Amino acid sequence: MRQQADAAVVWKLAELQHGAVSRSQLLALGYTPAAIEHRLERGRLHRKAWGVYAVGRPDLSRYGEFMVALLGAGSGAVLSHESAAELWEIRRREAGPIEVSLPRTHRRPRAGVLLHRRRVLGSAHVMHVHGVPVTSPALTLIDIANGISTRHLEAAVNQTDAVDLLDPPALRRLIRAFPHQPGVVKVRRLLDDQTFRLTDSELERMFLRLVRCAGLATPSTQRYANTWGVDFIWRTPGQQTRDYARDHAHRLAGLTPLRFTHSQIARQPEHVLQLLNAEVRRLGSRSSRAGPSAGV
């Protein structure tokens, strides 16, 4: 480059951007259009898109391809939709253009890039993965929801939890920030307590759909029975009757049984805590008298 110091700066920038730099960045660093053309002719820069170059070598990683799309889209652009799902590793790579979201702009679409214009794209919903700006996992799931089947969306939600990005309760809380965003209704419906259960595989998800079609009660998933892990488990009427009999016996003995469902504990912790605190206060009010304690 023009000076050794300039070359070091460009190489550092390219390293941060997975081998890609934009023409505007080079101009901001002091390079003239003629200097840029000279380096293109010498093979030090390689044109990857209009105004975007690979530094040194023409081949780029997938992250580099993402950066080319983002740099070409302009300031404020972030990876989104299926491309974001690929980067988060919650969906496999899909054939087609790289999808990018950016604030409303008059920038024209480019070959191989699908632009999604948004009125607002808050910083709270933009993150970085391997240095690539990308929509948050919650917003990514909302963005892809209407473009895929419910079965594939369910798999993506499960994968988001499996790779420790978001569990369903956290996702349920976060989607409240997008009340009018296309796709949020479909995600919320999927997370409904009566239909959604975490599963480990597509086979289990298929089995749950058959269970619903057969009119069976929704089973608990991923539980333990007799020290063995089981995928699905139902409580029979006889078992439920014994549960009630046990509760009645506890009450006759002066104990207060408190039952909470898996969904309540996972998705309604405030409700569970409110009941527990109420029970603690109740017990505290009778602490001056000798009496049995509550059982949970």
SS (H, E, C) the chain: CCCHHHHHHHHHHHHHCCCEEEHHHHHHCCCCHHHHHHHHHCCCEEEEECCEEEECCCCCCHHHHHHHHHHHHCCCCEECHHHHHHHHCCCCCCCCCEEEEEECCCCCCCCCEEEEEECCCCHHHEEEECCEEEECHHHHHHHHHCCCCHHHHHHHHHHHHHCCCCCHHHHHHHHHHCCCCCCHHHHHHHCCCCCCCCCCCHHHHHHHHHHHHCCCCCCEEEEEECCEEEEEECCCHHHHHHHHHHHHHHHHCCCCCCCCCHHHHHHCHHHHHHHHHHHHHHHHHCCCCCCCCCCC
Q: Model pTM greater than 0.75?
A: no
Q: What is the pLDDT along the chain (296 residues), one digit of tens a residue?
A: 444 447 889 999 999 999 999 999 999 998 999 999 999 999 999 999 999 999 999 999 999 999 999 999 988 899 999 999 999 999 999 888 999 998 876 566 678 899 998 876 777 889 999 999 999 999 999 999 999 999 999 999 999 998 999 988 899 999 988 888 889 999 999 988 667 777 777 667 777 777 777 777 777 776 666 656 666 777 666 667 777 788 888 888 888 888 776 666 766 788 888 888 888 888 777 654 545 444 44
